[in-house]
Amino acid sequence: MNQAHSKSRPAALPRLARSVVASAALCVAAGAALAGECPADKRVPDGEGQKMGPSAPVGVTDVVRSSTDLSREPAAIQGRQFRLRQLDIAPGGVVPWHSHNDRPAMIYIVSGEIYEYSSSCAVPILHRPGDVAPEKKGTSHWWKNTGSTPVLLISVDLFPGVAKADEHVM
């Protein structure tokens, strides 16, 4: 084997390995981006999707783990709390109908599977562990644990300071 050939071969293998790893990462990222979202062909104008659901929580433990008054931070956002909550939802439990028109949030599904019933999706949306559900202006929805195991969610939101009296508004 000549020396030039043996030197080029080891260099080609790491390049190939990097390409394979990069391709696999893109495939995983693409799948994760679609996980737990309304299918493109089922998206509908707000209000034409899932109908209003229950108006009170059932089987939900909601714990505010931390909250920061954003008016005292460099962003100086008056009347907003940056809030982190843990929601434990028992089998059959319901997070009631609510809107995010004035309160953007993100929900991270830690464990269990849960359905979201969104006003802008014609079908219920299944969320699994590792999914992130963005909740922004135009999002009105409710959630239900239809399974036999508890669901654990972590929620972060920009909570309106005026509603601070009830920190557990879903």
Is residue 168 in a domain? no
Q: Residues 30, 45: one domain?
A: no
Which candidate, 94, 98, 97, places its Cα nearest to that of 57? 94
Is residue 114 in a domain? yes
Q: Residues 87, 59: one domain?
A: yes
State the Cα–Cα distance between residues 27 and 50, nearest whole angstrom: 30
**Count of domains in the chain?**
2
Question: What's the whole-model pTM score?
Answer: 0.74
Rounded to a whole number of angstroms, the distance between the first and last alpha carbons of the chain is 69
Average pLDDT over residues 111-140: 95
Token pair belonging to 104: 């953007």
> Which residue do the tokens 């997070």 mark?
95
Is residue 170 in a domain? no
Does residue 10 register a pLDDT over 60?
no
Average pLDDT over residues 108-129: 97
Angle, alpha carbons 16-20-26 (nearest 5°): 145
Confidence of residue 29 (pLDDT cuts 50, 70, 90): very low
Does residue 155 register a pLDDT over 60?
yes
Angle, alpha carbons 45-39-125 (nearest 5°): 90
**What 8-state DSSP symbol labels residue 163?**
G
CATH number of residue 76's parent domain? 2.60.120.10
Q: Is 150 exposed, middle or buried (0-12, 13-18, 19+ CB in 10 A)?
A: middle
Helix (H, G, I), strand (E, B) or coil at 169: coil
Per-residue pLDDT at 152? 98
For 24, the domain range is 3-34
- CB proximity list for 134: less than 8 A, separation 6 or greater: 104, 105, 106
Higher pLDDT, 145 or 170: 145
Confidence of residue 141 (pLDDT cuts 50, 70, 90): very high
State the Cα–Cα distance between residues 146 and 155, nearest whole angstrom: 20
